[in-house]
Structure 1
């Protein structure tokens, strides 16, 4: 190859790379524009695990974790199970009685405030740990969550997040600990940290490949599908965990395309004034990213 040919080839490759970067930049502009229509604060973290393309918006900003913290709790369960501290087949007596992290005073959960009320019909019974983890994720059961956190210890969850490279996620407690909430002792996360743990899970790097796949299998059964999967084709599978409290909506997980490609997407929000409109906008952001990933680009 002549020097001139090499120069032309290099110029063509540089042009294509610039074109792709501009496409990603244009996507970012479109997402920012769409989210700017909604009163509130948003964060987005996207990474294409095939190409390495990524898009980050306010990815280091702190958000109340809401139920997105239940994925880190599940990770800790599988980590401790791998260390043989217990088995996922072990049974746990279900009780609606928990200790506040403020003063160890007891509190109970109100079934009316829980997205999964069926579990309360089994108080006093033994439940397999796996079933509690499953309900914690797919139905976002608060009763299951607090029971599981009591077993694994919230401090261990946060320590494991640090070991995985998620440096800002903080899991202090279970849910509905009103004394802790009043003192500002809340679970927090960033879009970047959630992206980090889902990328490792997608690559089979959390605990081990079998554990990562087992957790993905649970996340694929998610029953709340109004954000990331809402506007995607039916043959696209999403392993994800949502979260919501007043004025806060989140979704985070791994998107699996029919052709075998996959990407991680996290969309967080806070200070919302119209949650229905925000949810629609966030679903549209997910669709924008899907179209970016699946639209052929020059290479």
Structure 2
């Protein structure tokens, strides 16, 4: 498996950061450029999801609470914007933020918690290089050098904690996994896998980056995989590479059913 993946990586002219690890183990099967900081794109929405739920638990607020949607938070690539909604429940905002990567919902939730408070939460749970520095579609801030960033190692750590369900209450921990499993964007990790499996994952892409990271509930052994591509000239090529690597890993776990992988 490792040789196949490395031969694919050697043929591309962009950067590939990736990891593969058993869900129940801290040992990495594959780990490449895991400490490089890169633009998170929409991956940042996963720690935001956790941060909002943590805030609700600590303040005894419910998911049924409705938030107003300010006009300045309505941006492109958003089902909230398409519906011209004036308000949404917290539950709706969280679901749209993940399953369709809704940018308007994300901006409303950033205002609800506060950007700095979210960063404090990220640091508190152990994300050392993940930082929220701008809202979605805020290209003025991006052009000034303010971007949302993370690392492969932070994402591996985050999804391991999501799998362990030890960051939130049992109810909210399961809700996080349920929402991630309802992801509607399947152009990366699930692209070439024909089996009907659950993947609790999140994608993220911009003009020069393409990411997909998540928990694969494999019939033989659950694992966590993250593939993060930067300095891309063509995002579609990136999605296909993510799909090819993901299929190699999926087949590897199938061939090693019932045996130790390490």
Determine whether 1:227 maps to 2:201. no
Cα distance in 1, alignment partners of residues 34 and 165 from structure 2: 23
Match of 1:277 among 237, 250, 256: 237
1:210 — aligned with what?
171
Deviation at 1:231, TM superposition (A): 1.7
Deviations 1:233-265 (A, max 9, x none): 332210111001001100011111234x31111
Q: Which moved more, 1:236-245 or 1:272-281?
A: 272-281
Structure 1 residue runs of 4 or more that deviate by more than 6 Å after TM superposition = none
Cα distance between partner residues in 2 of 1:263 and 1:123: 39
1:292 aligned residue (228, 252, 259): 252
Q: Secondary structure at the match of 2:224?
A: strand
Q: Retained in 1: the 8 A contact 2:180–2:201? A: yes
Residue of structure 2 aligned with 1:189, choices 134, 145, 150:
150
> 2: CA distance between counterparts of 1:163 and 1:289?
32
Closer, same or farther: CA 206–233 of 1 in aligned 2, 3 Å: farther
| Counterpart mapping for 1:19-168 below 5 A | 27-50=1-24, 52-54=26-28, 55-84=30-59, 86-98=61-73, 109=75, 111=76, 114=77, 116=78, 118-123=79-84, 125-168=86-129
Rg (Cα) greater in structure: 1
With the length of structure 2 as denominator, give the TM-score of the two structures.
Answer: 0.92
- State the Cα RMSD in Å: 1.8
Q: How many residue pairs are counted as aligned between the two chains?
A: 258
- More displaced, 79-88 or 212-221? 79-88
Whole-Å separation in 1 of the counterparts to 2:166 and 2:67: 28
Partners of 2:115 and 2:60 lie apart in 1 by 16
The answer to whether the 8 A contact 1:62-1:190 is kept is yes
For residues 124 and 227 of structure 1, the distance between their equivalents in structure 2, rounded to whole angstroms, comes to 30
Which structure 2 residue ranges, 5 or more long, are not aligned?
A: none
Match of 2:224 among 264, 274, 284: 264
Runs of 5+ unmatched residues, structure 1:
1-26, 99-107
The answer to whether 1:199 aligns with 2:160 is yes
Report the CA distance shift for 1:122/1:277 in structure 2 as closer, same or farther (over 3 A): closer
Instruction: State the SS of the aligned residue for 1:97.
Output: helix
